[in-house]
A = this chain, B = another copy of it.
Amino acid sequence: MANFAIMGFGTVGSGVAEVLRMNGASIGEKLGEPLNLKYILDVRDLSATPYGGIAVKDFSVLENDPELDVVVESIGGAKVALDFTRRALMAGKHVVTSNKELVATHGRELLDIAREKNVNYLFEASVGGGIPVLRPLFQCLAGNQIEEIVGILNGTTNYILTRMVKAGVPFAEALKEAQEKGYAEQNPAADVDGLDAGRKICILSDLAWGREVLPDRISVRGISGLDLLDVDIASRAGYRVKLLGRALKLADGTQAAYVAPHLVHESCPVAGVDDVFNAIMIRGNAVGDVMFYGRGAGDLPTASAVMGDVMDALQHRSRRRKLGWSESASLAGPDALVMRWYMRGGSASPEGCQALSDGAVITGPLSVGEAGRLAEKLGAAALLPVFQ
């Protein structure tokens, strides 16, 4: 029998318990041994739930149980979660998490501890919710050199943008709808300001190139300043506005990573990904473009990914998965990355531009720095990068 514990009994934690209840028999069959949920650690009183009998409030119970194999960390944040994850790994437990903030900011240290202790620290659920993407990236595509990763990494903002594009609803109203439907938190800053997508693109970048990219080192722009007029102009020209996280390796060997709303041409598969769905496209030098699509959040989809990792950790109990990244990546300066740009409201139209309606244009290829300087010089009211 294999024993695991859940730390933090919120949306994800309770989803993991529910997946075990739904699928415990087939999970045990695949593992070749029953999987037993031994403890749930939470500060709240769970005695009125079916899990009252296994609820604990003291982390040291988990830490000191030699029969506990795996700990699921679904506390969130990077304080208590960091402390408990460190201690669980030090105590020789495998740890599985969906906590993108913790992985993005402290993943390197935690993977180092895991290596020393010969245990697994796995986090498939931290990017793309239930969509398999990290394991395909580091395992199935291991024979490739990864060239670029681009994705719709946040379901909340994709829902809001879909409403803006398809129904002409302004940002503030679309956000309110998303909150009413339970897709957005009451404090939606981490989603709408792009921080959540930023953490996820950092994790993808860490795994793809083996060098740490911390979220506070990359440029992150959300959708709260987005004008419905620009969404309209783009639509009429055959583009959808999508919040994309993007990470790439440049010709000079440096890396770039950022989050921003982009114009995406409707012929690109990413453009058709609507509502709360996520999609991640990975370009490898042998495989070309592959794309992974599905629900990027929600209790059961996220729990599906956590459970896959719990099973993987148990199947690699004696021999841990080789996983980790080294110190800071060399990031490109603002003049290295070149794209086309959507610009509106400038005092003049620069040469070689494609004219759209309402005085908006799409420029030729310009670096991030060049585009910014040009928009400032011309007094442009809107500047957005164009993807493909």
Contact = CB atoms under 8 A, between A and B. Distances in A.
Given A23-B143, A32-B322, A308-B140, A293 B291 contact: yes
Interface size bracket, A side: 35 or more
A286 B312 contact: no
A57 interface: no
Contacts of A306: 143
A13 to B, nearest CB: 14
Interface stretch (A97-105, A295-303, A375-383): A295-303
Contact of A292 (B273, B286, B292, B312): B292
Contact of A308 (B124, B143, B273, B291): B143
Interface stretch (A127-135, A239-247, A357-365): A127-135
A70 interface: no
A348 interface: no
A319 B322 contact: no
Nearest to A293: B291
Contacts of A136: 132, 135-136, 140
Contacts of A303: 143, 286
A305 interface: yes
A339 interface: no
A312 B305 CA distance: 20
Interface string A5-36: 00000000001000100110011001010000
A288 to B, nearest CB: 5
Of A32, A135, A310, chain B has the most CB atoms within 10 Å of the CB of: A135
A308 B289 CA distance: 16
Interface in A307-325: 307-308, 310-312, 315, 318-319, 322
A145 interface: yes
A131 B27 CA distance: 25
